[in-house]
Amino acid sequence: MFKATVLYKQPTDPAAFEDYYSTHHMQIASAVPHVARIETARAAQNPDGSAPPVYRTAELWFDDEESMQAALGSPEGQAAVADCENFATGGFDLFISVVD
C-alpha cells in the first residue's frame, strides 16, 4: 500500500481551521478517486505539556502506486491539495510513503 500524509502545522485560528476543514475540505478530499481509506487526527498535547509542532494529520491510503498517482494527478486530487491554501494558515507538508 501507499499513503499520502498531510501534516498541518499550527493554524492562526484553530476554530476557523476546524470549521473549514469539516464543512468544506473533507468533502473535497472525499471526492478524490482511488482512495482506499482516509484517516484524520488532531494532535494531542506533548507529554511535557507543550504544543506539538503539528496540529492535525490526514492520511490517504491507496492500494498501489498507480492508484495513488492517478488520484493525486486527478482534478479532484489537485483540487484537494490546492484547497489547503484556503485554511491551512500555519502551512502544511505533504509526503508519500510505502506502507510496510
Kindly report, residue by residue over 31-81, the tens digit of the pLDDT. Answer: 999 999 999 999 999 999 998 999 999 999 999 999 999 999 999 999 999
Please report the pLDDT score of residue 61 as a whole number: 98
Question: Which structural domain range is residue 69 located in?
Answer: 2-98
How far, rounded to the nearest angstrom, does the alpha carbon of residue 9 sit from its chain's CA centroid? 11
Please report the pLDDT score of residue 32 as a whole number: 97
Q: What are phi and psi of 7, to 5 degrees?
A: -110, 110
What's 47's domain CATH number?
3.30.70.100
- Is 88's pLDDT higher than 90? yes
Distance (Å, rounded) from C-alpha 44 to C-alpha 22? Answer: 18
Neighbours of 9 (CB within 10 A): 15
Q: Under a CB-based contact definition with an 8 Å cutoff, are residues 31 and 76 in contact?
A: yes
* Span 16-40, average pLDDT: 97
For the chain, the domain total comes to: 1
| Predicted TM-score (pTM) of this structure | 0.91
Identify the three-state secondary structure at position 57: strand
